[in-house]
Amino acid sequence: MTMISLRKAAAACWLTMLVGAAMLATLPAAAQSGARVSLEVVTQPGFSAEEIREWLPALEKAGFSNVRVRTGRDGDGAAIVATGSGNSANYQVTAVLTSDNRLHLPNGNYSFESRGKINAWVEKLKAGGEEGLNARAGAFGLVPKDLVAVHEGLTTKVNFSTTGKTTREVVQAIAVNLPIGMKVDPAVRDKFGEEKVTDELLGMSSGTALAAAIRPLGLVLLPAKVGNDVTLRVLDSQAAEQVWPVGWPMKTSPRETLPDLFKFLNVEVSDASLAESVEAIRGRLNVPMIIDQNSLARQKIDFATVKVTLPKTNTYYAKILERLLFQAKLKYELRIDEADRPFLWITTVKQ
């Protein structure tokens, strides 16, 4: 048996020849945290120890926990065997070094000249497993599996009243109940002062509630992949290209999403407070309402002081809302949260 063992020493690699039927090479690696990826390279006939040695430094730097090289057998092919999950995942990768000097990995094919790109392949495997290798990144740079996990994690219902609490208190109270970690960017921590949350977010899903609570401070919520885990980041809106939205488009028609919007009633409003009138409708519909404070501030609209009038008529709630809000150059949108619960989003006509 011929065996080749490679160990890292100072600035060089050296080979020790042993006797045997197969050729093996082992590279030690620095201790790594999180998922581990080990590599077994099988060579097609004709490769010499010298040719293999040319590949080993690149494979050592690529992030594999260890590397073994042996001569190929019938039936050998590129493959991945996974055990464990998350940070405790272990991936045993088999790659084929072909006679044309190319390394074939699962969903990866590298020439000797492009060997420096193997590191990205390893990191992608660590982050998303075999599915991550095959999936294209979508919104927020996340693969579909991670995006679904974030969305599901943010369906957790807010179980306390938010009105009158500081934004810091609301964010902290929501965060402790999430299955996803959250980190506030150090550059924006001083924005959490004594500002109060004016919307009642009780009963809403955590994703929509968080996005709504921090928005008036000029902050946004962003899911991001950090190592093997997805975490939520709170950062300045100017620093983000994509943001987690305050609610989502309806999956069905407005009539199916909130049937009570289309109930008819007799109504008359005479020089009344818009805020009080809309709140009365919200209460009858038994649906949350979020005010787009940022847009109202830009348009210099004070929701609390605007007066509205509506002549006596018989119509449905959706039409009443439209007519009252339009007098203040406002409109409503019917949105849903991560748990598909509907809510009213009050914003400006001019965006």
Fold of the domain built from segment(s) 151-239: Phage tail protein beta-alpha-beta fold (3.55.50)
pTM: 0.70
Determine the angle formed by the axes of helices 317-326 and 274-285, rounding to 10 degrees: 160
Q: Which CATH superfamily does the domain covering 254-348 fall into?
A: DotD protein (3.55.50.60)
Cα dihedral sign for 106, 112, 114, 117? positive
Are the folds of 151-239 and 254-348 the same? yes
Q: Tell me the pLDDT tens digit for each residue of 169-186.
A: 999 999 999 999 999 999
Query: Which residues in 140-178 are b (16+ Cβ under 10 Å) and which e?
Result: bebbeebbebbbebbebbbeeebeebbbbbbbeebbeee
Per the listing, tokens 């690699």 go with: 13
DSSP string, 164-229: TSBHHHHHHHHHTT-SSEEEE-GGGGGG-SSPBP-S--TTSBHHHHHHHHHGGGTEEEEEEEETTE
Tell me whether residue 100 is exposed, middle or buried, using C-beta atoms within 10 angstroms of its C-beta: 0 to 12, 13 to 18, 19 or more: exposed
Least confident of 104-113, 213-222, 320-329: 104-113
Backbone angles phi, psi at 54, to 5 degrees: -65, -30
Q: CB neighbours of 113 closer than 8 A, spacing ≥ 6?
A: none
pLDDT for position 101: 87
CA distance 148 to 325: 35
pLDDT value at 29 more than 90: no
* Arithmetic mean of pLDDT over the chain: 87
Confidence of residue 256 (pLDDT cuts 50, 70, 90): very high
Least confident of 59-63, 187-191, 318-322: 59-63
Q: Tell me the pLDDT tens digit for each residue of 70-118.
A: 988 888 899 999 998 777 889 999 999 988 889 999 989 999 899 888 9
pLDDT value at 243 more than 80: yes
- Paired strand residues for 267: 313
Q: What is the DSSP letter of 297?
A: H
pLDDT for position 143: 82
pLDDT for position 135: 66
pLDDT for position 137: 67
Which tokens go with 350?
């001019």
Percentage of residues of the chain with pLDDT beyond 90: 67
Least confident of 136-145, 221-230, 305-314: 136-145
**Arithmetic mean of pLDDT, 22-45:** 62
Domain ranges in the chain are 3-134, 151-239, 254-348
Task: Give the SS3 label for residue 276.
Answer: helix
Task: Give the SS3 label for residue 311.
Answer: strand
CA distance 197 to 217: 10
